[in-house]
Amino acid sequence: MKDIARQQMSMKVESMDMLNAQIQMEGRASASYLAMASWCDQRGYTRSAEFLYRQSAEEREHMMKIFKFVNDCGGNALSPEIKNIEHDFTSLEEIFETALAQEIEVTRSINNIIAFARKNNDFGVENFLQWFVSEQLEEEKNMRDILDLFELMGSEGVALKLIDERIPVE
């Protein structure tokens, strides 16, 4: 990208680079949820599959929100290259444990960009990311609520079917 364009962006170059890394992370999260949905779909966990398909679509929306923001600020949004998605899971519980770990990682990354933006007076970026702070709280809570079901009902046999029936899908 031409240096002059980077200098005229309404965000710091470092913020743009961090946001491009976030685009990559959201794209990876979307692909990862799709793999989890497929695992559930093949094993008859229909509500879990539905929940994870939706989650995958949501992550793509997050990716596109950031993608558009970078370009709207005069930056250069980069289409992510996503490889090596995990498709092998040992249990339904592992799926949701992996999902929670993934969300915690995303939250950390968002917080990290906000901390940088704040320190460097990149207020547009800080303001833009506020929506993601609330969204991450919500997503982490959803995963913890589901993991509580395993705690409550167990993680074998008929409990799995009963848990699947309680997976929230609007």
Residues that bind ligand FEO (CB under 6 A): 26, 29, 59, 62, 103, 106, 139
Q: Which is nearer to ligand FEO, 123 or 131 (CB)?
A: 131
Smallest separation (angstroms) from ligand FEO to the CB of 156? 28
Smallest separation (angstroms) from ligand FEO to the CB of 12? 22
Smallest separation (angstroms) from ligand FEO to the CB of 154? 27
Sign of CA dihedral 153, 155, 160, 163: positive
Q: How far apart are CA 106 and CA 56, in angstroms?
A: 14
Smallest separation (angstroms) from ligand FEO to the CB of 105? 9
DSSP 137: H
Closest-by-Cβ residue to ligand FEO is 62
Residue 76: both structure tokens together:
């250069």
Q: How far apart are CA 60 and CA 29, in angstroms?
A: 8
Q: Which is nearer to ligand FEO, 103 or 164 (CB)?
A: 103
Sign of CA dihedral 57, 61, 66, 71: positive
Q: Which is nearer to ligand FEO, 25 or 149 (CB)?
A: 25
Residue 112: both structure tokens together:
């990290």
Taking the alpha carbons at both ends of the chain, their separation in whole angstroms is 43
Q: Which is nearer to ligand FEO, 12 or 62 (CB)?
A: 62
